[in-house]
């Protein structure tokens, strides 16, 4: 698996220009818009998207067909994609959080460090949920069909969410009331709940991706 990680990091070198743009925009949003949380979300989300580009690089020129003949299994390939996404997403999140924390500490009069870090952590978790949707879609549909599939997937999630709320209303369940009541749980408990939810999402996503890879015909 380490060999595959090396490959993906070597391929990342080809996206230097995109990286520089990412950093440039992040600094722009931070200084001009004075919106540090947007910067954390922006950098973390886009970094998690590098896992998509790594899958696209593998598809280009049938490179993934050759990769499957190397001493790796389809399971290891799948694990590597999540590991790569987690690594690149977490590292970018740490950098963005550090930068924005220092910036906020220096520029904001009533800066609450713990609350701020909690909010940043939630951004990382949301980005990981996003990654858990993107990876199986990309593995299944590839670069060309993947974008359309992703839009349909997001629309389907929104539709399911909307339908869920409507069904809950029919049974007299107030979803928004439940969400409001969550805020009374306390920040730590809420964070643990979100973390557990993200881990479940990643677990389900991994199982789906593994099945896709196992059934994939090259």
Partner 1 sequence: MLKLIDVKKEYNQFTLNCSLEVLPGCVTGLIGQNGAGKSTTFKAILDLISIDGGSIEVLGKDSHQLQQKDKQLLGVVLSDAGFSDYLTIQDVIPILNQLYKKFNRRDFENKCQAFDLPLDKQIKDFSTGMKAKLKVLVALSHQAKLLILDEPTAGLDVIARDELLDMLRKYMEDNEDCSILISSHISSDLEGLCDDLYMIHDGQIIMHEETDVLLGEYAILKVDEKQYLELDKQYLLRHKKENFGYSCLTNQKQYYLDNYPSIVIEKGNIDELIMMMIRGEK
Interface positions with partner 1 (CB under 8 A): 2-4, 6-7, 10-11, 14, 57-58, 60-63, 65-66, 68-73, 76, 217-218
CB of residue 179 to partner 1, shortest distance in Å: 45
Say how far apart CA 43 and CA 27 lie, in whole Å.
Answer: 10
Q: E-strand spans in the chain? A: none
Token pair, residue 63, equals: 């490179």
Q: What's the number of CA atoms in the CB half-sphere (13 Å) around residue 89?
A: 25
Residue-wise DSSP of 8-51 = HHHHHGGGHHHHHHHHHHHHHHHHTS--HHHHHHHHHHHHHTHH
Q: Per the structure block, which two tokens stand in for 11? A: 């391929």
Instruction: Give the SS3 label for residue 108.
Output: coil
User: Which one, 35 or 76, has the nearer CB to partner 1?
Assistant: 76
> Looking at beta carbons only, is 60 or 105 nearer to partner 1?
60
Query: Whole-number minimum distance, CB 29 to partner 1, in Å?
Result: 30
State which residue, 68 or 175, has the beta carbon closest to partner 1.
Answer: 68
**Which of 4, 75, 88 is CA-nearest to residue 47?**
88
Minimum gap (Å) between residue 90 Cβ and partner 1: 22
What is the token pair recorded at 165?
Answer: 């709320």
Q: Which CB, 66 or 162, lies closer to partner 1?
A: 66
Q: How far is the CB of 213 from partner 1 (least distance, A)?
A: 12
Separation between Cα atoms, residue 21 and residue 19, nearest integer Å: 5
| Pair 72, 132: CB distance under 8 Å | no
Among residues 13 and 110, whose Cβ is nearest to partner 1? 13
**Cβ of residue 53: shortest distance to partner 1, in angstroms?**
11
The 3-state DSSP class for residue 69 equals coil
User: Least Å distance between CB 82 and partner 1?
Assistant: 18
Cβ proximity to partner 1, 45 vs 50, nearer residue: 50
């Amino acid at each position: 698996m380490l060999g595959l990680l090396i490959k993906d990091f070597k391929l990342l070198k080809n996206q230097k220009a995109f990286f520089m743009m990412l950093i440039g925009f992040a600094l722009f949003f931070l200084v001009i818009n004075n919106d540090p949380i947007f910067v954390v979300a922006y950098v973390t989300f886009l970094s998690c998207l590098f896992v998509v580009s790594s899958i696209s690089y593998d598809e280009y020129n049938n490179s993934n067909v050759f990769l499957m003949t190397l001493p790796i299994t389809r399971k290891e390939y799948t694990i590597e994609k999540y590991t790569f996404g987690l690594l690149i997403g977490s590292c970018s999140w740490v950098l963005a959080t550090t930068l924005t924390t220092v910036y906020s500490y220096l520029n904001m009069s009533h800066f609450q460090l713990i609350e701020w870090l909690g909010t940043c952590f939630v951004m990382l978790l949301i980005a990981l949920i996003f990654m858990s949707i993107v990876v199986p879609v990309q593995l299944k549909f590839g670069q060309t069909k993947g974008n359309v599939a992703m839009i349909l997937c997001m629309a389907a999630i929104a539709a399911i969410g909307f339908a869920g709320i409507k069904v809950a209303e029919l049974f007299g369940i107030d979803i928004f009331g439940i969400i409001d009541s969550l805020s009374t749980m306390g920040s730590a408990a809420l964070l643990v709940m979100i973390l557990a939810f993200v881990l479940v999402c990643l677990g389900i996503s991994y199982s789906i991706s593994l099945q896709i890879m196992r059934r994939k015909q090259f």
